[in-house]
Structure 1
Amino acid sequence: MEVSPVYQTTPISDIEQPDFLNLVVVAESTLEPLTILDRALAIEANFGRTREVPHGPRTLDIDVIMVGKRVSEDDIELPHPRAHERAFVLVPWHDVDPNGELAGHGPIAELLDEIDTTVVSRRDDVVINANVGF
């Protein structure tokens, strides 16, 4: 498992809220995509995540970006539909997997050339304990 550095970003929302802290985890799993998503949602719930306001403030938000080379499962869209245009996904992902590719979109390094990466700032002062299991 590889865990990226933490990055700070302004939320993409019309709702006023604090900046987000983002990171990417690249891991191997034998679990099916929906099982991974269910476990991610359970982790969010354990941290008090609620979903009253779409795109509103949240304690934790875990997105499943890609599972292997899978594309579009029944109940989960893979890869994540906007990952290719989001600096808060691509910048930390590139840190841990510089040769990575986003299925259907190409190499992360090339995708980074197409977006504004100045919207994320690395936070080396924030340390994440990545000893969680999926």
Structure 2
Amino acid sequence: MIHAYIGLGSNLDTPMAQLDRAIDTLQKHDDVKNLRVSSIYGSKPVGPQDQPDYVNAVASFQTDLPPLALLDLLQSIEQAQRRVRERHWGPRTLDLDLLLYGQETIQLPRLTVPHPYMLERGFVIKPLSDLAPDTLLNNGNTVIEQLQQLDTSDLVIIKEE
């Protein structure tokens, strides 16, 4: 079994309900064990600012799914919740990103792990620190050390873990 971490985000169509449905779907999936979810945070959008604020969280779980099968599962959950992709870094009903897949480094046309932008995003690193503060990242920092290098002043806890 591999320990996976995913980022969850939404800013359209009742964002908290979007995250709750995605978490519920993951929890009921046969290939997802020991699901844990961080606190849920509100944050300003990355990219275009003419969109609603986001809600974000990180989930961790054990799985025996290979990386692309896990990506397929995440994308099927997004599609089931009518994922909207209007523009790059634009608003979305649900975004599920595979952040970490064990300690593996993956470079495939459809998937890059660790997630290529996670180290610079407080809305990812802060909830990841709720679950795995001492995890070593690919840049040599622990999650908590990486968090100390980021501006997280726009993050607001919406729901405690």
TM-score normalised over the length of structure 2: 0.73
Q: Which residue of 2 aligns with 1:123?
A: 158
Q: Which residue of 1 aligns with 2:135?
A: 100
Greater Cα offset, 95-104 or 106-115: 95-104
2:110 counterpart of 1:110: no
Alpha-carbon spacing, 1:89–1:17, altered in 2? closer, same or farther (3 Å): same
- Structure 2 Cα separation of the partners of residues 81 and 89 of structure 1: 12
Alpha-carbon spacing, 1:13–1:31, altered in 2? closer, same or farther (3 Å): same
| Partner SS for 1:24 | strand
Q: Which residue of 2 aligns with 1:73?
A: 107
The Cα shift of 1:96 comes to: 1.5
The Cα shift of 1:15 comes to: 4.8
Contact 2:85–2:91 under 8 Å retained in 1? no
Q: Which residue of 2 aligns with 1:87?
A: 122
Alpha-carbon spacing, 1:88–1:49, altered in 2? closer, same or farther (3 Å): same
2:43 counterpart of 1:9: yes
Q: Which residue of 2 aligns with 1:22?
A: 56
Deviations 1:88-111 (A, max 9, x none): 111011112222222344200110
Give the unaligned 5+ runs of structure 2. Answer: 1-34
Task: Count residues in correspondence.
Answer: 126
TM-score normalised over the length of structure 1: 0.86
The Cα shift of 1:73 comes to: 3.0
The Cα shift of 1:32 comes to: 1.0
User: Aligned-pair RMSD on alpha carbons?
Assistant: 1.6
Greater Cα offset, 42-51 or 97-106: 97-106
Q: Which amino acid aligns with 1:111?
A: Q
Contact 1:84–1:105 under 8 Å retained in 2? no
2:78 counterpart of 1:44: yes
- Structure 2 Cα separation of the partners of residues 15 and 107 of structure 1: 30
| Partner SS for 1:98 | coil
- Structure 2 Cα separation of the partners of residues 100 and 43 of structure 1: 27
- Structure 2 Cα separation of the partners of residues 89 and 56 of structure 1: 17
Alpha-carbon spacing, 1:28–1:103, altered in 2? closer, same or farther (3 Å): farther
Runs of 4+ in 1 over 4 A off after TM superposition: none
